[in-house]
Amino acid sequence: MPFPLPLSYSRPVKNIVLLALVFVIKAEAQTSAFTTADSLYMLGDYTQAINTYAQVGSQQSALQIARAYNAIGNFDKSVAQYEGILKEHPTLQIARFELGKLYLKTKQAEKGKSLFEKLSEENNDNPEYLYYLAESLQWLKKTDESVLAYQKAVGLDSTHLRSLFQLGKYYVAQKEKDSALTYVDMGLRFYEKDVALINLKALAYYNNDEFGKAAPWFERLLELGERKEYIYYKLAICQYHMWEFEKAKTNYHVLLDIDDSNPDYYFNLGHVFFKDRMLDSAQYYIKLSKEVQEVNFAREYESLARIAAVQEKPEESIKYYKLSLKEDPDNMRVFYQVCFLSDQHLKDPKVKLEYYESFIKKFGNEQRYFSEMVSKRIKELKQEIHFGSN
C-alpha cells in the first residue's frame, strides 16, 4: 500500500520524505539479498552466493565473497579479494587475520609472517595470532623463533591445544622427554582424549626406551579408535621388552593381517618366539621374513645362526653365519662368529688358523676387542701346529 503524503507538506519536505523512502527500500533490498546470499553460502552453493553478495556491495558482503572463493578452492581470487578489501580498509582485523591464514595455505609464508607479526604486536593478548606467527616461522625454517612464539601463545592461554601440540612435537623430536611431557600434560589436563597429544606422550617415553611407560599410552590410542599400523608396531616392541610375549605376538599377527609383505613383522615376531624359548616358531617366522624380502637377508641368516647355536647345532649355525657373511661381507661380528664356531667344531688347527688369519687380513686392528682375541688365538694355534709337527 503506497505511503500517503499529507497534502499540506511543502515540495522540499515531500522530496526529503521520498528520498528517505528510497533509502529504506534500497536497504531492505540489500538486506534481503544478503540474507539470500548467506543461505546459499551456508548450503555450499558458493558460485550463486558470490553473485548474490556482489549485488549488495557492502564491506561484509565483500568479506563473504573472499570466504566463498576460499571455500571453492580458488585461492588466487580469494587472496585478491582480501587484498582489495584491505586497500579500502587497511586496519580491518578480521580480513587481515583470514588473509594471513590464506597466505600460509598458499605457501606465502613471508607475507603471512608479516601480517601476523603486526597483528600480534597490535593485539598482544591474542594467542591465536602468536600461534599463526609461529606457523609462519616454522614454514620459513626459523625453528627457534617459532618455538618462542608457540611458548608465548601458551603463556597467554595454557589450554591452547595446537600450540601445546607443536611444542610437544618439537621436544619429542629433540628427544627432550621432560620438556615434551610438560607441554603434553598441560594439554591432556584440558582435554584427556586428545589423540595427538596422547600419541606424543607415548612417543616421548618410547624414544627414551621407557617401554613400560609408553605401552599404556599406545593402548589408550587403540581404545580411542586409532587403529594405525605404527601404533600396533610400537606397542608390540614395548611388549617384547616388557616380556609380555603373548600380547606382542597378538599385535604382530594384527600387523601381518594388515600387511603380510612386511619382513620386519615376521622378523620381530620370530624374535619374540626366540626370547620366549620357542625356537621352532622363531625359526619359522625368521625364515618367512627372509622369503618376503627381495634384497638382503644378512640379519635373518645371522638370527638363524644364533638359534642353531642355542639348539647346539654348530654345523647349521656355521652355515647360516656364512650365508649372512655372503650377504654382508663387512660384518666383523659375523665373521668372528664363523671363526669362533669353526675353532670349536673343527679338528684341524691349520684350517682354524686360516679362518683367523683371514679375519686379520680383512679387518686388521679395526676393533681392538676382536683383534686382540684373534691375534692371541692365532699365536696359540701356531704353537699348537709347531709342537704337533714335532
CATH no. of 1-90: 1.25.40.10
Least confidently predicted of 119-133, 156-170, 319-333, 356-370: 356-370
Q: Do domains 1-90 and 318-390 have the same CATH topology?
A: yes
pLDDT of 301 strictly over 50: yes
Q: What is the DSSP string of 249-309?
A: HHHHHHHHHH-TT-HHHHHHHHHHHHHTT-HHHHHHHHHHHHHH-SS--HHHHHHHHHHHH
Give the pLDDT confidence of 29-73 residue by residue, as tens digits: 456 777 888 888 999 999 998 999 999 888 999 999 999 999 999
pLDDT of 23 strictly over 80: no
In the prediction, which pLDDT does 13 show?
53
Which residue ranges make up each domain of the chain?
1-90, 318-390
Cell 616454522, located at residue:
138
What separation in angstroms does the CA of 79 have from each of 62, 67, 76, 85? 12, 10, 5, 10
In the prediction, which pLDDT does 30 show?
58
Lookup: cell for 233 = 608396531
Q: Which residues are CB-neighbours of 41 under 8 A, at least 6 positions away?
A: 49, 53, 64, 67, 68, 71
What separation in angstroms does the CA of 56 have from each of 33, 80, 99, 333, 367? 7, 19, 22, 79, 81
CATH class of 318-390: mainly alpha
Top-confidence residue, 118 or 386: 118
In the prediction, which pLDDT does 24 show?
47
